[in-house]
Chains A and B, each alone.
Chain A
Amino acid sequence: MTVSTVDGLRAEMAVGRGGFRLDVTLAAAPGEVLAVLGPNGSGKSTLLDTLAGLLRADTGTVELAGRTLAGDRLHVPPHQRRVGLVTQDTLLFPHLTVLANVAFGPRAHGKPRRAAENTARRWLSEVDASELAGRRPSTLSGGQAQRVALARALATEPDLLLLDEPFAALDVDAAPALRGLVRRVLGVAGGRRATVLVTHDPLDALVLADRVVVLDGGRIVEQGSTGEVLSRPRTAFTARVAGLNLITGTASGDGLVTADGTHVAGMRGEPLADGAPAVAVFLPSAVAVHMERTLASPRNVFPATVAGLEPHGDVIRVRARGGPPWVAGLAADLSPAAIAELALEPGTAIHLVIKATEVTVYGA
């Protein structure tokens, strides 16, 4: 194994798979949680498989905690990487008890059975799953299985922990509790371990991550601290991932002017010179839908057409299209009752109404 001077994780890789190409550089300091956000097909799984050593990068280097794991003609196999993995479907070994599952890693690292089981018990208690020790994986609920999978990955004391959509398969009630538990466990046992969390849910990133990388089409389109990236997206893509509406243009007065000359009224989020590139950001819940054009300043009224309706928690998210290109993809969250009252369906002509005070404008 080649020695490297890098603490934590530093990876730079290019992987081609069929017609898809992943080309990224990322780093995570010891103790840091890095979230990788992106939609399906953005290359998240390829990224994790490459870090875990299950896939071989075409070019690039992976350095972790003072060791080079991949580089010029070097490929350290997965079992020598000290990289732990927790996946959406947990992949607990069905033929082993929960305790044996968690003890599997320590055993594979050469610990005697008794010591490995003690380590396993300690980690099971860390994830509040001590009472599950004797159970078979097939008898566990989704949240329980995910906790055990986390304990199993941590029991090997990896230098890098990879979390692949760990909450995606859980029902809405189980996810928040588990998210909190993961946050606690990652904090308790932080130390020198770096964590990469792959998710399509910005909430995971908000709760767990220190920094965020946004991946689209195999490339990093945005990165920074979690709060910064998610509350102030600079690309329409990130806004969509973060569940926000975003309109790009140039700064003008308190708002901005789009490429086709529409004025968007808003509040300045930071000092900005007129004419500078700017983005206007607002929540889908701040958007009202009217059938008539009601003029009431200081509001924004944009004519649009309903492109689609999709359930989104307790509300229905209306996606807009039509008119200038920046309208496409704007979202408004309405109650089912409001949808029924307005008789909205794809193709209905509507007006999107947003109060200026709900729109934040800052530099792009």
Chain B
Amino acid sequence: MTRRASTGVPGLLWLPAVLGLALVVLPVVGLIARTDLADFPALITSPSAVSALWLSLRTAIASTVLCLLLGGPLAVVLARGRFRGVRLARAIVLLPLVLPPVVGGLALLYLLGRNGFAGRYLDTAFGWRIPYSTAAVVIAQTFVAMPFLVVALEGALRSAGERYEAMAATLGASPWTVFRRVTVPLALPALGSGLVLCFARALGEFGATITFAGSLEGVTRTLPLEVYTLGESDVDGAVALSLLLVIVAVVVIAVARPHAVERSRW
């Protein structure tokens, strides 16, 4: 087998590159080194840990579904829409990506909290109090995770262009048939990796959740919040749960990497 000769990386870049990689890898190594592997199974199966893990999985799945139901159509509209302000809308959608999650949580609180302008209405009209509920966790996670799906999907739709869709129309396909049989299948790889990233982001959500939903065991205390809570009293438990989150993250990368990270052609 022939190997392509490398054109060579300038030597100067190697040192910062290795340092950068070390910054990512070494903390995880530290975490593993600190873990008491003998107690690991017991630590991650304690009632509070199991409850947090279960809550995390449920809310992350729910918010991933919400991301799909809301973010999917949003991506299609942003990629294909021809209305005034579409460029502005594309920029606004990115806001949760760059906003500190704590600020996002605060913003949600002032929208849906009991004194927020929508929350007050929901409370008096339906008796719904969203903050500090599991629903609030899902909303906070959806808020921070949705841009990942929208960006991945919109990019794929825009680079695929509308030519396949135009061709399908000349073959007699109605707009809905075109969407179902051409637009969606072509965007499927991007949709898949976008959803995996959404799920990962939702699973790791902390700032917006603790501000908007608080940290109530079994109701809003997801795994990251449980790690934070244990960090003050039971360091071994916190470390074990952190390792669990690392494992989940590695699995997510393994699944999503080919499309989302390398942006390989589909």
Contact A95 B173 (CB under 8 A): no
CB distance from A161 to the nearest CB of B (A): 10
Q: A232 in the interface, Cβ–Cβ < 8 Å?
A: no
Contact A91 B171 (CB under 8 A): no
Known contacts A91-B163, A93-B164, A95-B186; A152 and B171 CB within 8 A of each other: yes
Q: B124 in the interface, Cβ–Cβ < 8 Å?
A: no
Q: B37 in the interface, Cβ–Cβ < 8 Å?
A: no
Contacts of B188 in A (CB 8 A): 95
A78's partner among B163, B169, B181, B186 (CB-CB below 8 A) is B169
Known contacts A79-B173, A79-B174, A91-B163; A108 and B168 CB within 8 A of each other: yes
Q: B20 in the interface, Cβ–Cβ < 8 Å?
A: no
A108's partner among B166, B177, B185, B186 (CB-CB below 8 A) is B177
- A292 to B171 CA separation, bound complex (whole angstroms): 61
Known contacts A91-B163, A93-B164, A108-B177; A85 and B170 CB within 8 A of each other: yes
Q: Which residue of B lies closest to A106 (CB)?
A: B172
Q: A275 in the interface, Cβ–Cβ < 8 Å?
A: no
Contact B186 A77 (CB under 8 A): no
Q: B182 in the interface, Cβ–Cβ < 8 Å?
A: yes
Contact B172 A52 (CB under 8 A): no
B172's partner among A54, A87, A89, A109 (CB-CB below 8 A) is A109
Q: B92 in the interface, Cβ–Cβ < 8 Å?
A: no
CB distance from A145 to the nearest CB of B (A): 13
Q: A278 in the interface, Cβ–Cβ < 8 Å?
A: no
A-B contact count (CB 8 A): 63
Q: Which residue of A lies closest to B170 (CB)?
A: A85
How many chain A residues sit at the interface, stated as a range, is 20 to 34
> Does more than half of chain B's interface fall in helix, strand or loop, or is it mixed?
helix
- A95 to B182 CA separation, bound complex (whole angstroms): 8
Contact B171 A104 (CB under 8 A): yes
Q: A94 in the interface, Cβ–Cβ < 8 Å?
A: yes
Known contacts A93-B182, A94-B186, A95-B185; A108 and B167 CB within 8 A of each other: no
Q: Which residue of B lies closest to A101 (CB)?
A: B171
Q: A156 in the interface, Cβ–Cβ < 8 Å?
A: yes
A54's partner among B169, B177, B182, B186 (CB-CB below 8 A) is B169
Contact B170 A104 (CB under 8 A): no
- A258 to B182 CA separation, bound complex (whole angstroms): 59
Q: Which residue of B lies closest to A155 (CB)?
A: B171
Please encode chain A, from 83 to 117, with 1 for each CB lying within 8 Å of some chain B CB and 0 for all others: 11101010101111000000011001100000000
Contacts of A82 in B (CB 8 A): 172
B171's partner among A77, A87, A108 (CB-CB below 8 A) is A108
- A75 to B188 CA separation, bound complex (whole angstroms): 32
CB distance from B156 to the nearest CB of A (A): 13
Contacts of A94 in B (CB 8 A): 186
- A91 to B181 CA separation, bound complex (whole angstroms): 14
Contact A108 B182 (CB under 8 A): no
Contacts of B178 in A (CB 8 A): 79
CB distance from A43 to the nearest CB of B (A): 18
- A87 to B168 CA separation, bound complex (whole angstroms): 13
Q: Which of A269-324 contact B (CB under 8 A)?
A: none
Contact A81 B177 (CB under 8 A): no
Contact B177 A78 (CB under 8 A): no
Contact A84 B170 (CB under 8 A): yes
Contact A156 B169 (CB under 8 A): no
Contacts of A83 in B (CB 8 A): 170
CB distance from B266 to the nearest CB of A (A): 9
Contact A87 B177 (CB under 8 A): no
Contact B169 A77 (CB under 8 A): yes
CB distance from B60 to the nearest CB of A (A): 29
Contacts of A108 in B (CB 8 A): 168, 171-174, 177, 181
Q: Which residue of A lies closest to B173 (CB)?
A: A108
- A108 to B173 CA separation, bound complex (whole angstroms): 5
- A109 to B174 CA separation, bound complex (whole angstroms): 9
Q: Which of A60-88 contact B (CB under 8 A)?
A: 77-85, 87
Contacts of A52 in B (CB 8 A): 166, 170
Contact A104 B168 (CB under 8 A): yes
CB distance from A186 to the nearest CB of B (A): 18
- A79 to B166 CA separation, bound complex (whole angstroms): 9
Contact A79 B163 (CB under 8 A): no
Contacts of A109 in B (CB 8 A): 172
Contacts of B163 in A (CB 8 A): 89, 91
Please encode chain B, from 184 to 197, with 1 for each CB lying within 8 Å of some chain A CB and 0 for all others: 01101000000000
What would 10 more interface pairs be, CB under 8 Å, given A79-B174, A108-B174? A54-B170, A79-B169, A79-B177, A84-B171, A95-B186, A96-B185, A104-B168, A104-B171, A108-B177, A156-B171
Listed in ascending order, the chain B residues whose CB lies under 8 Å from chain A are: 163-164, 166-175, 177-178, 181-182, 185-186, 188
Listed in ascending order, the chain A residues whose CB lies under 8 Å from chain B are: 52-54, 77-85, 87, 89, 91, 93-96, 104-105, 108-109, 152-153, 156
Q: What 7 A-B pairs come out closest when comparing CB atoms? A: A105-B171, A78-B169, A108-B173, A108-B172, A85-B170, A95-B185, A91-B167
What would 25 A/B residue contacts be, using CB atoms closer than 8 Å? A52-B170, A54-B166, A54-B169, A77-B169, A78-B166, A78-B169, A79-B169, A79-B170, A79-B172, A79-B173, A79-B177, A81-B170, A84-B170, A84-B171, A85-B167, A89-B163, A91-B167, A93-B168, A93-B182, A95-B185, A108-B168, A108-B171, A108-B173, A108-B174, A108-B177
